[in-house]
Amino acid sequence: MTSEELLAVLAAVGHAQRLRVIAEIAGGRMYVSELARSLGMSRPLLYMHLDRLEKAGLVVGSLELSTSGKALKYFELAPFDLRVNAETIAAAVAADAEGTVSDVKGTPT
């Protein structure tokens, strides 16, 4: 895992509102408007956060048609389990250097 990927996840999850979003849909998939009401958050704002979370690969959205025919955008958690400690961070940062500096020894092919 590169530090860029790790960073995307950590930055995405390092925000109070987004933490709440994750906690909320941890209980099961919900559609956007429902989620917005539940969290007491404006829909455009929620969109932004969901977007961020989705890009980080933490949630997955899918547009569906309800039985009544109304379009509903459901979001659910993507499975993720991240370990954050000195080793994982050092490894991620080290992964960036691969190929960056001219020929790092000891890591052939």
Partner DNA sequence: GGCATATGTAAGTCTCGACTTACATGCTTC
Partner DNA sequence: GAAGCATGTAAGTCGAGACTTACATATGCC
Kindly list the residues in this chain that would bind DNA in the complex (CB under 7 A): 15, 17, 31-34, 37, 41-45, 47-49, 52, 63, 68-73
Residues that bind its own copies (CB under 8 A): 3, 6-7, 9-16, 19-20, 22-23, 26-27, 77, 79-87, 89-90, 92-94
Contact partner, 92, from DNA, its own copies, none, Cβ < 5-8 Å per class: its own copies
CA–CA gap between residue 30 and residue 87 (Å, rounded): 36
CA–CA gap between residue 1 and residue 3 (Å, rounded): 7
Contact partner, 32, from its own copies, DNA, none, Cβ < 5-8 Å per class: DNA
| Residues found in the chain | 109
Contact partner, 101, from DNA, its own copies, none, Cβ < 5-8 Å per class: none
Nearest-approach distance from CB 22 to its own copies, in angstroms: 5
> Which two three-digit tokens encode residue 26?
């941890």
Q: Which helix H or strand E contains 92, and what residues bound it?
A: helix 86-97
Torsion, CA 37, CA 41, CA 43, CA 45, rounded to 10? -160
If the CB atoms of residues 41 and 91 are measured against DNA, the closer one turns out to be: 41
